[in-house]
Amino acid sequence: MFTEVIEKYTEDSIITLEWKEQVRRRPGMYIGKIGDGTSPDDGIYVLLKEVIDNSVDEYMMGYGKTIEITINENIVKVRDYGRGIPLGKVIDSVSIMYTGAKYDSKVFKKSVGLNGVGIKAVNALSQYFNIQSFREGYVKEAEFKKGETVKDIKNKPSAYSDGLLTIFIPDKEIFGHYKYLSEHVEIMLRNYVYLNTGLTIIFNGKKFFSKNGLLDLLEENMSIPGLYPIIHLKGEDIEIAITHGTQYGEEYYTFVNGQNTIQGGTHLHAFKEAIVKTIREFYKKDFDVSDIRTSIIAAISIKVEEPVFESQTKTKLGSKDMQPGGQSVRNYIIDFLKSSLDNYLHKNPETAQKLLNKILESEKERKAISNIKKIARERSKKTNLFNNKLRDCKIHFNTDEERKDESTLFITEGDSASGSITVARDPGVQAVFSLRGKSLNTWGRTKKIVYENEQLNMLQAALNIEEGIENLRYNKIVIATDADVDGKHIRLLIITFFLQFFPDLIRNRHLYVLKTPLFRVRNKKNTIYCYNEEEKLSAINKLGTNCEITRFKGLGEISPDEFKQFIGEEIQLEPVIYTKDDRISSMLEFFMGENTRERQNFIVENLRVEE
């Protein structure tokens, strides 16, 4: 007979964690996801940002125009030339939670780091942490390991300039095998200098500097010029840059007190409302919202005293007020844009005309496909989309907000693959959409084709992105196709579809590719799944030459029980990303356009035959 053992609930069950233990047990509360450095929002970049934020805050207060950063073999050094931490409070500032000067808005106004937690989290999550404060001819140095004080060195005379030197190595016990990627670091640093004109950041010898702020940001991030010169507006505590491009969707870069709020928030909602109100009033016409905002490219930066963010990683603004008891963020942005943009358009009639032409062009296209959209909706109802193509997840039918970020849609090819994933998935947060055969090549097509093609229209409806990605039903969209040539072709067609019509999904890091094993190597005791030839050979050496080797030809050959391992906690997702240096239009035109002969020649000239 089975007897369940129930632990007794006594005084001994109640424990109190030290601050460093709390951080190390629950790092996600402080730095978001852990990651290994492949994604720009992985924890190691949050650690770097927390240290740099403090240096930038010094610059914003008028102290120190240069920040020097080096990263060598994961040893991070950040040196600023601000005021330095008062020497008697150096250790407290990096090892006692909720300790810092930023609670006093007179000393640090409109700062990013306000809760006295960030630098302490860096300390706790580092296997080595060293802090040196240079101030008034003296230096105070302290060294830590995993938040524990190792060395407390007495103050010494110093000939170095005032400021702060922070050295840390993220802890491998927390982050595993990780690596800082220069491209992710450089994007972060560019944003810092765009938002702090006059600040110089030197990273591994490379200089970052911006003279024109958000104007530079847009110019350097746009692959082709806008349809009209960038409108650059600046006021007290606010800066905005606006233009329109030729892409579908909307492209925004938003910041609060120098923090890149990639999830937007109060200020972005206010801007979207303000741009529509201002343009309607200027042209005295009640344009449709989508006609005004389609293809817009904009950057907005505001400064707020004591900002309220919706998470410790500060990616979404929740503040309603510009300052305690002050004007609301919404009203402030609307008033500023209504006045400044209206004045600009009156003074620049040529730009005003080009903007009007773009809005009228969007209006014309929208009306041209309105009837097609109506027919497509009726067709979707008749085909019973959600039963035939989509196996939805339960998160949309309850209020489990904590798991909202886990919501995932797998896009599969064929019934066998979708069947395996459907059985293996977590139905609470994982949904499956099944394609039938190869998708249409949408490169160079207008959005009309989305509604005319049943599969594309159903996919759009499943994601709920017809009017933009604000109401996207899933946080992650995962392309799950076979690893063979046909599977890779289907993957390319799906990525092309999103790049052509919904680039915001990729820009906001919602699109991924599922990595599934090519081989299974096993003996009677062990099973190893391998993602390439090298891993297969390594597995054979480990398990012996008498082991069984299976080559998976398609996802449908992987049993549901096995699939659970690949889409569960250990899921391997490769994000689909692109930067300003990726010439998407020219690249897709070459690989997806009608220049068949040119592509054939390219393939022949670059074909490699394996020995």
pLDDT tens digits, one per residue of 431-474: 999 887 777 888 878 888 888 888 888 888 889 888 778 788 89
Beta pairing class for 430-435 and 408-413: parallel
Q: Is 1 within the bounds of a domain?
A: no
Q: pLDDT band at 103, cuts 50/70/90?
A: very low
Residues 160, 251 share a domain = no
Q: Is 464 within the bounds of a domain?
A: yes
Taking the C-alpha atoms of residue 296 and residue 279, their distance in angstroms, rounded to an integer, is 13
Beta pairing class for 408-413 and 476-480: parallel
Is residue 610 scored above 50 in pLDDT? no
pLDDT of residue 583: 58
Residues 353, 231 share a domain = yes
| Number of separate domains in the chain | 4
- CA-CA-CA-CA torsion for 90, 96, 98, 101, nearest 10 degrees? -10
Instruction: Name the domain boundary from 343, 365, 387.
Output: 365
Q: In what order do the strands lie in the sheet with 296-302?
A: 231-235, 238-244, 296-302, 251-256, 259-260
Residues 458, 565 share a domain = yes
Q: How far is CA 24 from the centre of its chain?
A: 24
Q: pLDDT band at 105, cuts 50/70/90?
A: very low
pLDDT of residue 109: 47
Provide the residue range defining the domain that includes 48. Answer: 20-208
pLDDT of residue 321: 61
Residues 191, 277 share a domain = no
Q: What are phi and psi of 35, to 5 degrees?
A: 70, 175
| For helices 485-501 and 584-592, angle between their N-to-C axes, nearest 10 degrees | 140
Is residue 201 scored above 80 in pLDDT? yes
Instruction: Name the domain boundary from 208, 227, 250.
Output: 208
Taking the C-alpha atoms of residue 82 and residue 59, their distance in angstroms, rounded to an integer, is 7
Is residue 578 scored above 60 in pLDDT? yes
Is residue 186 scored above 60 in pLDDT? yes
Q: pLDDT band at 370, cuts 50/70/90?
A: confident
Q: Is 240 within the bounds of a domain?
A: yes
Q: For residues 268 and 334, is the Cβ–Cβ distance under 8 A?
A: no
pLDDT of residue 593: 66
**Stretch (H or E) spanning 530:** strand 527-530
Residues 401, 361 share a domain = no
**Stretch (H or E) spanning 260:** strand 259-260
Average pLDDT, the chain: 83
Output b/e per residue, 148-163; b: 16+ Cβ within 10 A. Answer: eeeeeeeeeebeeebb
pLDDT of residue 456: 87
pLDDT of residue 114: 40
Residues 381, 274 share a domain = no
Is residue 106 scored above 70 in pLDDT? no
Residues 597, 452 share a domain = yes
Q: pLDDT band at 115, cuts 50/70/90?
A: very low
Task: For 21-56, write each residue's pLDDT tens digit.
Answer: 778 888 878 888 888 888 788 899 999 999 998 999
pTM of the shown model: 0.74
Is residue 241 scored above 90 in pLDDT? yes
Query: What distances in angstroms separate CA 522 from CA 424, 526, 551, 569, 576, one per listed residue?
Result: 21, 6, 12, 22, 32
pLDDT of residue 325: 52
Q: pLDDT band at 214, cuts 50/70/90?
A: very high
C-alpha dihedral sign at 393, 396, 398, 401: positive
Task: For 279-333, write each residue's pLDDT tens digit.
Answer: 999 999 999 999 999 999 999 998 887 666 665 555 666 656 655 456 688 888 9
Q: What is the average pLDDT across 251-262?
A: 84
In single-letter form, the type of residue at position 404 comes to: K
Task: For 128-185, write each residue's pLDDT tens digit.
Answer: 999 999 999 999 999 999 989 999 999 999 999 999 999 999 999 999 889 999 988 9
Residues 361, 220 share a domain = yes
In single-letter form, the type of residue at position 391 comes to: R
How many other C-beta atoms can be found within 10 angstroms of the C-beta atom of residue 125?
A: 27
Instruction: Tell me the CATH number at 183.
Output: 3.30.565.10
Q: Is 416 within the bounds of a domain?
A: yes
Q: Is 10 within the bounds of a domain?
A: no
